[in-house]
Structure 1
C-alpha cells in the first residue's frame, strides 16, 4: 500500500531542499540554442501562435522541456526572452529576428505552466520561487561570471522569481494570461500565503521562512502579523497613510512659519520621512526597474524629490537664519500638491483607461518636448546674439518662445523687429509656423496614437499593473510590516539590534513590535476574515430573511418597480430554481426512444431539408402514407392513474435491421425463419410488412441523401476542371503545330490530317 506521505506529496509545496537542488543554469543555454536554431526569420506574434507553427515548432519544444519536470523551466524561458530583447535593442539590423525569438520564449513559458504545474500550490511555486541563474553551473563558468562582474559575489547572489523577471522584461501577454492571473489574484487577496527570502532588504528577517500554503483563517493565529503583508490589505493601509500624509501637508502649508518649525510642520516632516523610508524599502526590495514600472510609484518618487528639496532648503534656512531660503522651501513644497491630490484621486479610478494611458502619454509628451527644446535652443542663441543684450535677456527670450509655442502667435510678429530689422521677422515667423502648425500637430498625433495603442490593450495593461502591485506587496523586508511613522521607530531600534541579537531573538523581538504597533489593524483584519469574508453568516442570514419576506408578499406589492429593482426579477429566480433541482439520470428516458437507424445521417448544408420530419411515401402511388392512429397505450401516453410519467408501450417495438439487405415482403422461407430473431417472428405478417416498408423507405431516403451529398462533393467539379484543362491543352498543341508548320516545311494536307488525328 502506498505511503500517505508519498500519496499526497504531489499536493504539497516543494521543500526548500528540493528548490535548492534544482539545476537552473543548464536550462538557459539549452533554451537559447533551441530557439535560435528554430527561429531564423522575423515572425509576428500571430504567426508564432498560428496552428501550423504551433504544431510544428512550439509543441515539440514545450514537450521536450516539460519532460524534465523542472520547476525552473518557466523562469529560464523568461530569462532567455530578456536576453533576446536586450540584443534586439542594441542590434537594430536583427531586431525583428530577436523579437520573434523573445516572443517564442514567452509562448513557451505560457505553455509550460500547464505542463509543469500539476496543482494550485505547485503553480504558485513555479511563479514565486526565487531562482539563482547560476544554480547548477560548473565552477569554471561561475568563475568566469565572477570575473565579468568584477569579482563581486554580492551581485551573483541575486535570485529572482518568474514573476519578477516577467515584470522587468515587460512580458505583458504572459502576465495577463488566465493561469498567471489566477495566481496573482490569489496572492493579492491573501488566499495563498508564502514568504520570500530577503537578499536586498534594509532589515531582513529570514529566521523562519514560510512555505507556500492555502490560508485558512480558522487555523491561523488570531494576531497573524503576516496578514499585514497581504497586498489587498496593504493597498487599503497605503490609501489611509497617504490621506494622513496629505492632511498633514495641508496643515503644514496653512500654518507656515519661516522663523521656526511649529507642531504641524514637525508632524508633516515625520510622516513624510516615514513615507520616504517606505518607498525606499520598496525600491530596494525588488529593484528600481520593477519599482518604477508601476505608474503610481512615478508620482510617489516625484513627491519624494520635491520633499527632499524642501527639507534641504528648510534646514539650511533655519541654521543660517535665512528667511529667503525658508520661503523658497515652502514654495517648492507647495508644488507637491500637484502630485498629492491627483495621486489620492487615482486610488478610486485606478482601472480607468484614461488613468492607465496617462503614464504613457506623459512619457511621450516629456520626450517630445525635450527634443523640441533641444532643437529650438539654436534659435534661442541666434536671437540673443542678434539682440546683443540691448533689449532682451536670455531669460526673457526663453519666456517669449514658450508663449509663442503655446499659442500666443501675435507676440512673434509684434516683437520680431526688436531683435533685428531684417532677420528678426523671418526667424520669428518660421518659429511660429513650426511650433503652432507642424510640431503641435505632430505632438497631438503622437499622443492620440499612444492612447489608441493602450486603449486597444487596456485589459492587458491593467493586468500588467495589477501584477506589479501584487508582487510589490509581497516583500520580505521587516520594515514593510510597520505602518508609518512606526517604521522609523523600527529602523532606529531593530537595525542596531540586528548586529547584536541572534536571528531567533531578532525574529521574536520583531514579531512583538509588529503586534504591538499594529494591534488594532490585526484585530480588524481577523474579525473581517473570520466572520465576514469566510463565514458570511450575517449577510447570508439577512439575505435569506429578506428573500422569504419578499416572496410572502402579494403579487401586486411584489410588482412595485422599486421592490422589483431591489430584490431582482422573478424570472431569474425561476431559472435558478430549475437548475437547483436535481433530476434522476433516467427521469426522461422516453425523450430519446428514437431508433438508431432513424437518426438523421451526416449531411451537407444544402441537404438540411432532409432533416425535416415527413411522412413516408407509398412505393406504389407516391402519395403520403396516412399516419397511423395514435393510442395512449401504443405511443407511451399518460397512465390511467394520472401519473406524470408516461406509460411504457404494451406491444413490442420493431427493432431496426442491422443487415444492409432489404427483407422480402413475401412469405418467409424455412431458412429465413431460422435466422430471423424470435422477437421478430412473433410479429404478425401485416405488421412485419408495414415495418419492412417503413424501413425500406427510410433507407431509400438515406441513399438519396447520400447521392445528393456526393453530387455536392468537389470530386465532380475536379473532373470537370481536368476535362477543361485537357481540351485547352489540345487547342494549344494544335496552335503550336500550325505556327511551326513553315519551319518544318510541312504541307497543308499533312497538317490537316495531323489536326484531324489530334481532334
Structure 2
C-alpha cells in the first residue's frame, strides 16, 4: 500500500474507473487467494495502522488516509470475490470464517519476534491457544470501514450471525466469569440437531437484544415504581422501601452486565453503540445515588439527597428506550455522532474559557479588600461569576457584563464582552457548522451508516463471557459463588456445573427458543416442498408483476435470446473498447470478453466498475 499510494486521494478519486483499472483491480488480482482466508483481516489491520499513524506523521496525514481508504476498498473487493466464487450455504460458512474467525497478528512469526514484538495488555486468559486473536469484523468496526461493512457479502454474514444461522465462540478482551473448556468454531446451526436446552442460544444477537430489552424494561418499571412510591419527607430517608430495594438490587446486576459488555471487546468498540453514552450517564447517576443512600442509611443522616439525585435519571432512561426501539433510525444515528462532536468541542471550550473565570475572580480580588469583614457580603463568589458567564455563553442574560464594572471600570466589562464575542458568537457558530457538517455526511451515506450500526449490534451481541447467561440479579450471585468455585474445580467439572445452573435458571426461556426455532425450520421445510407450485392468495392487484418473473419462459424464447446475445456481442465489444480508449484497446477487449462470460454464467458482476 505504501508503494501504491504516494499522493493524497479522496474516496471518490479512488473509485473512479481509471483508478479502479490501474490500481484497485491489479491489487485485488494479486492479493486474492481462495485458499487464504486472512487477506481481508490483514488489509483491515493495515487500515487501522494507517489511521493511527496519521497523527504521528503530520506530513503524510492525507496520504495515510488515502492508504487506509485503499485498504478498505481492496478488502471489500476481495470479500466480494469470495462471495461470488462460493455461493449458497458452503459459501456462507466460508465468508463467516473470513469475517468472524479469529486471527493472531503475530501468526507464523518466530517465537523471538513474538516475545519482542507483543505489546503489553490485560493478562490473557487461557483459551487453548486462541488468546490475543482478533476478527476481521472487529477491525472493520474499530476502523469504521463502512464501505466494507455495507457490502453485500459482509451483510450476508452479519445477517446470518444476527439470526443465529452462523454460530461461533467469540474472542473477548477479558471475561469476568470465563468458561472456555469447549470452543465452538464457526459453523452453521441446525436446530433439529441441537439439544432442547441449548444455552448457547442466549448469545445469539437477535435473541440477546430482546433479552437485554426485557431487562431494561424491568429496570425502567422498578425505577418508575420507586419514584412513585418514594417518601417525600426527610423522615423517610432512613427506611428502604420494597420497590426501592428491588430497584437497587436489580440495577446493581444490570450495571454488572453493562460493565461486562464494556470489557468484552473494549471501550473503542462499545462506544460505537448508539446508547453507550446514555448507559455511562445512568451508571454515574446510580453510583452517586448509591453513595448518598448508603450515607443516609448507615450514618442515619436525614439529608434527603439520594432520591433527588435519582430523579435526574428519568430523561436518560426514557431516551434510551427510544434508542433501543429504533436502533436503525438515521436521526438517532446522527444524534449519536453529533453528541460525540458536541462533547469534544464543549470540553475544549470549557477548558479555554476557564481563563476568563479566573481572570474575573482575580480582578475582583484586586478591587475588594479581603481583610475587611464585609468581604464575603459584598463580593460575588466563584459560582456567581461562573453563572454570569454561563448566561452570557448562551445569550440568556447580560447581568454579568454590568456587574463586572464593579471589579474594574474598563477591564471588567472588556473581559465580559470579549467572552461574549468568543463564546456566544464564535464558538456557537463553529459548533453549528461542525454539527451541520456531521449530519450532512451521515445523511449522504445513510444506508452505509445503518448497515454499520447493525453490524455493531450484531458483533456486540455475541458474548463469550458466561456471566451474560445469568439474568440480573442472578449474575451477582453467580459472580459471588461460581467465580470462587472455578478455582476449586477443574475446567471440565466447572464447565458442567456452570452449564447445568445456566440451563436451570433459563429453562423456560430456552424451551421457548427451542420450540420457536424448530417450528420455524419445520415451516420452512413445508414451504420448500411446495415451492414447485405457486399459490397466490389475497386480492393483490400487483401480484402478477412478481409472478411473471417467477415463471419459466418457453424454450423457443430462450433460444431466441441466446441468438440475439451472440449477434450483439461484437457490437457491445466495440462499445467497450471505445469507452476504455485507444491506449488500452487490448485490455478493453479482454475485459469485455470477461464480462460477457460472467454475465452469461449468471454471476453477479458490476459493469459500472469499468
Give the Cα–Cα distance (whole angstroms) in 1 for the partners of residues 558 and 307 of structure 2. 81
Q: State the structure with bigger RCO (CA 8 A, min sep 6), 1 or 2.
A: 2
Pair 1:480–1:364, CA change in 2 (3 A): same
Residue among 364, 367, 370 paired with 2:347: 370
User: Alpha carbons of 1:206 and 1:373: their partners in 2 closer, same or farther (altered >3 Å)?
Assistant: closer
Measure the CA separation in 2 of the matches of 1:297 and 1:100: 30
Residues 593-652 of structure 1, C-alpha deviations (whole Å, 9 max, x = no match): 99x99x99969xxxxxxxxxxxxxxxxxxxxxxxxxxxxxxxxxxxxxxxxxxxxxxxxx
Give the CA deviation at 1:477.
0.9
Q: Tell me, yes or no, if the aligned pair for 1:176 and 1:460 is still in contact at 8 Å.
A: yes
* Residue of 108, 112, 118 corresponding to 2:74: 108
Name the structure 1 match of 2:226.
Answer: 252
Offset, 1:447: 1.8
Identify the residue that residue 180 of structure 1 maps to in structure 2.
154
Looking at structure 1, the residues matched to 548 and 417 of structure 2 have their Cα atoms a distance apart, in angstroms, of 77
Match of 1:143 in 2: 115
User: Which residue of 84, 96, 104 corresponds with 1:132?
Assistant: 104
Structure 1 segment 39-438 matched on structure 2, within 5 A: 39-67=5-33, 69-116=35-82, 118=86, 119-146=91-118, 149=120, 157-197=131-171, 200-254=174-228, 255-256=230-231, 257-324=236-303, 327-388=304-365, 390-412=378-400, 414-438=402-426
Counterpart of 2:446 (choices 434, 439, 458) is 458
Q: Is the CA contact 2:274–2:327 (under 8 Å) kept in the aligned structure 1?
A: no
Q: What is the deviation of 1:536?
A: 6.5
Alignment-derived partner of residue 588 in structure 2: none
Mapping of 1:293-692 within 5 angstroms? 293-324=272-303, 327-388=304-365, 390-412=378-400, 414-532=402-520, 535=523, 567-570=538-541, 572-586=542-556
Aligned residues: 545
2: CA distance, partners of 1:527 / 1:318: 47
Work out the CA distance in 1 between the residues paired with 2:563 and 2:256. 76
Alignment partners' CA distance in 2, 1:592 and 1:136: 51
1: CA distance, partners of 2:343 / 2:70: 33
| 1:151, distance to aligned residue in structure 2 (A) | 12
Does the 8 Å CA contact 1:356/1:458 hold for their aligned counterparts? no
Whole-angstrom distance in 2 between the partners of 1:302 and 1:405: 24
Q: In structure 2, how many angstroms separate the alpha carbons of the residues matched to 1:53 and 1:537?
A: 47
Cα deviations by residue, 1:43-74 (Å, 9 ceiling, x for unpaired): 22222233333333333332333247221121
Whether the 8 Å contact between 1:43 and 1:100 is mirrored in structure 2 is yes
* Alpha-carbon distance between aligned partners in 1 of 2:197 and 2:480, rounded to the nearest angstrom: 24
Shift in Å at residue 490 of structure 1? 2.2
Shift in CA distance, 186/46, structure 1 to aligned 2, threshold 3 Å: same
Residues 115 and 245 of structure 1: CA distance in aligned 2, closer, same or farther (over 3 Å): same
Q: Any idea what the Cα deviations from partners look like across 1:648-675, whole Å, max 9, x if unmatched? A: xxxxxxxxxxxxxxxxxxxxxxxxxxxx
Maintained 8 Å contact 1:131/1:159: yes
Contact 2:328 2:454 in 1 (8 A): no
CA drift of 1:242 comes to 0.4
Query: Residues 56 and 312 of structure 1: is their aligned pair in 2 closer, same or farther, counting only changes over 3 Å?
Result: same
Give the corresponding residue for 1:732: none
Q: Distance in 2 between matches of 1:600 and 1:430?
A: 73
After TM superposition, the score normalised by the length of structure 2 is 0.81
| Per-residue deviation, 1:268 | 0.9
Separation in structure 1 between the aligned mates of residue 539 and residue 504 of structure 2, nearest angstrom? 46
Normalised to the residue count of structure 1, the TM-score between the two structures is 0.66
Larger CA deviation: 375-384 vs 575-584: 575-584
Deviations 1:434-493 (A, max 9, x none): 433333223222222221122112222222221111111111111122222222222223
CA gap of 1:261–1:362, structure 2 versus 1, over 3 A, is same
Deviation of 1:250 after TM superposition, in Å, equals 2.0
**Unmatched 5+ stretches in structure 1:** 1-34, 541-546, 551-566, 604-713, 716-759
Over alpha carbons, which structure has the higher Rg? 1
Q: Distance in 1 between matches of 2:358 and 2:214?
A: 50
**Contact 2:122/2:174 (CA < 8 Å) preserved in 1?**
no
Deviation at 1:274, TM superposition (A): 0.9
Does the Cα contact within 8 Å between 2:133 and 2:171 map onto a contact in 1?
no
Structure 1 311/409 Cα, relative in aligned 2: closer, same or farther at 3 Å? closer
Counterpart of 1:635? none
Question: Deviation per CA, 1:97-125, whole angstroms, max 9, x where unpaired?
Answer: 11111122212222222445632111101
The separation in 2 between residues aligned to 1:240 and 1:592, in whole angstroms, is: 57
Secondary structure in structure 2 of the residue aligned to 1:207: coil
Contact 1:274 1:484 in 2 (8 A): yes
Q: Is the 8 A contact 2:205 2:458 kept in 1?
A: yes
Contact 2:50-2:68 at 8 Å conserved across structures = yes
C-alpha distance in structure 2 between counterparts of 1:167 and 1:574, whole Å: 42
What SS does structure 1 have at the residue aligned with 2:155?
Answer: helix
Q: Is the 8 A contact 1:412 1:429 kept in 2?
A: no
Instruction: Give distance in 1, aligned partners of 2:123 and 2:319.
Output: 43
CA shift, 1:294, in A, is 1.4
Alignment root-mean-square deviation, CA: 3.4
> What is the DSSP-based 3-state SS (H/G/I as helix, E as strand, rest coil) of the residue aligned with 2:169?
coil
